Amino acid sequence: MIEMKRSDMKSDLFFRLFVRSCKIVSQTNKLFKTMDSKEKVLAAMKSAGKPLRSGEIAELTGLDKKEVDKAMKLLKDEALIVSPIRCLWEPK
């Protein structure tokens, strides 16, 4: 077993805590980014007044299509949007 000095153990503990807190901040930032995207997608769908494809929503919002798809999946899971026709979506 490797012997560690008390100061090394403290440094190692602080480093692990720092890394863990960085991961939490990163996950939180991703969550807020997704929430913003979700709100933008829903607002664009409501303002359009007609069913839209994800590509059209991406153009209206200025978001990347992959980001729109992620936001739409969350909106579908929350039952906030429906698909009246295949590949077209509108707010519920």
Residues 40-88: tens digit of each pLDDT: 999 999 988 899 999 999 998 888 999 999 999 999 999 999 999 999 9
The CATH number of 8-91 is 1.10.10.10
Q: CB-based contacts of 54: which residues, under 8 Å, 6+ apart?
A: 65, 68, 69, 72, 89
pLDDT at 57: 92
> What integer is the mean pLDDT of 5-18?
68
Q: What is the pLDDT of residues 39-49, one digit of tens each?
A: 999 999 998 88
- The structural domains of the chain, with segments of one domain joined by +, span 8-91
Q: d(Cα 8, Cα 31) in Å, to the nearest integer?
A: 35
Q: How far is CA 90 from the centre of its chain?
A: 20
